[in-house]
Amino acid sequence: MIAVLIFYIHVVAIVAIFTIRWQQSGTLDGVLSAGFMLLIFGVGWSVSTVILKFFFDAKGLGTWFDRDTMSLVLLTLIEGFFYYAYAKSERQKIV
């Protein structure tokens, strides 16, 4: 259930960034931004899974919070900091 929520958050974020970039700069920029987010998600999930493999077995901390879910939560936290810093720098360029 947690994994589904995290996937839903990512889908909404990808659609939002595509729409924002599409309105600002055009279709190509929207597609590139959405592709960049998909790339970060795919690579980040793989890296966070490898990192957590050293600390937890496949069962994780329980039925609802296994290692895959923990890696998605770790990825979402790291992405949140990354996208926040990126958005903050973009706002400073505009102002």
Q: What is the pLDDT of residues 27-54, one digit of tens each?
A: 999 999 999 999 999 999 999 999 988 9
| pLDDT above 70 for 60 | yes
> Rounded to an integer, what distance in angstroms lies between the CA atom of residue 49 and that of residue 55?
10
Residue 30 neighbours by CB under 8 Å, 6+ apart? 17, 18, 19, 20, 21, 22
Which pTM was predicted? 0.81
Please give the residue that has the higher pLDDT: either 76 or 58.
76
For residue range 75-86, list pLDDT tens digits in order. Answer: 999 999 988 887
Please give the residue that has the higher pLDDT: either 93 or 65.
65
Please give the residue that has the higher pLDDT: either 95 or 68.
68
